[in-house]
Chains A and B, each alone.
Chain A
């Protein structure tokens, strides 16, 4: 008798866990394709779903998590989904959430590239694509501008930024080395500056309420 009760409890718990995993997968499956433009467009939707509608996390916890999602490597949407999934259901939760946010885009892209290969040689399609190519260049420039506004705020950062662009244009080095160098360089520069007794500011100071995303502390470099 006792054993049977314990058994049914275990089954119940298992089912509750499965339904949580499925819920995580489904929430992010819906968020994935609805947020065109990626990144911070996604953030408000995630906040609404997780803190507002489902009350899975507190609002301040979601904000905290987003600043981390912005600083960890990878897309901010995928990072946020992994974070929320982990907080709610450990590693299986993280996997379910990441699968959820990735799968729809994967399928959409798959279909899109199929149609593209079919229509590639139609002149009107080619022309439309040239137009979109221009828009994408513009969007990349916007990303650079937004990032630059936050990143290049003193003489050191200006020099580092200009030097890295110059190196890329002139040498064609693997950008991966630049990223790794940047991680070390930042720490070294701050150390040296402290050594000389200079005042070190590692981030551009934000004025409250100026951030357009509404979350202070979130770096707006992912659009």
Chain B
């Protein structure tokens, strides 16, 4: 069943969403693409909406994709799918191995995991910055988008501007530029 499919896909992602948020975008994009839940352009819009809303960008995207694919039941299925693993894993940790972060196995698996998560996030950034479009790669939209992206990067890393202010400013910049 369709709803079940949504739940299952996000459940899988939820169990492996180490690093939360942005790292999971690549996984969500893969599932969305291969299941044909929405087009790439719609997915980019979804992530923008998720970024605008409070809370985790991964959970937000799950909600929106579920809603887009199957209405309210879909939204509930996808959201509970991505959240349930947190609940299960955290309860297990809290009940049985509280000091997990000092554990040798955990430490050494994270040694291999962290660089891969970095790769996943970078991949998500590249994927969003250079959407596969017919025609020239460097058109006005791509250029403007990259400019805003670069400005955002500098504003957050160097001047520690709050993400909410950046989203609002970028919306204004969008209206002016495009």
Interface residues of A (CB under 8 A from B): 32-39, 64, 67-69, 71-79, 82-83, 86-87, 91, 94-95, 98, 101-102, 104-106, 108-110, 112-113, 116, 124, 126-145, 147-148, 150-152, 156-158, 160-165, 167-169, 172, 174-176, 178-191, 200, 202-203, 217, 219, 221-223
Contacts and interface: CB of A to CB of B under 8 A. Distances in A.
B52 to A, nearest CB: 6
Nearest to A114: B67
Contacts of A126: 178
Of B112, B113, B129, B145, which is in contact with the most chain A CB atoms at under 10 Å from its CB?
B112
B83 interface: yes
Nearest to A97: B87
A59 B87 CA distance: 22
A138 B52 CA distance: 13
A157 B113 CA distance: 9
Contact of A75 (B59, B109, B151, B169): B59
A183 B109 CA distance: 5
A131 B94 contact: no
Q: Interface majority SS on B: helix, strand, loop or mixed? A: helix
A139 B163 contact: yes
A157 B79 contact: no
B177 A137 contact: no
A161 B115 contact: yes
Interface in B80-114: 82-83, 85-87, 89-91, 93-95, 98, 100-101, 105-114
Contact of A108 (B54, B148, B174): B54
Give me the 7 closest cross-chain CB pairs, A-B, nearest first.
A131-B174, A138-B152, A186-B112, A134-B148, A74-B86, A164-B119, A151-B114
Of A75, A126, A137, which is in contact with the most chain B CB atoms at under 10 Å from its CB?
A137
Contacts of A116: 45, 49
Contacts of A186: 108-113
B148 A183 contact: no
| Interface size class of chain B, counting residues whose CB lies under 8 Å from the partner chain | 35 or more
24 contacts: A68-B100, A74-B90, A77-B56, A82-B86, A83-B93, A129-B45, A134-B148, A137-B128, A137-B145, A137-B149, A138-B156, A139-B51, A139-B152, A141-B153, A142-B156, A143-B23, A144-B125, A168-B119, A175-B27, A179-B16, A189-B112, A190-B108, A190-B111, A202-B108
A39 B171 contact: no
Contacts of A132: 48, 51-52, 167, 170-171, 174
A74 B85 contact: yes
Contacts of B109: 182-184, 186-187
Given A75-B21, A75-B86, A138 B116 contact: no
Contacts of B163: 36-37, 139, 223
A109 B123 CA distance: 26
B69 interface: no
A131 B14 contact: no
Given A86-B94, A175-B30, A67 B18 contact: no
B138 interface: no
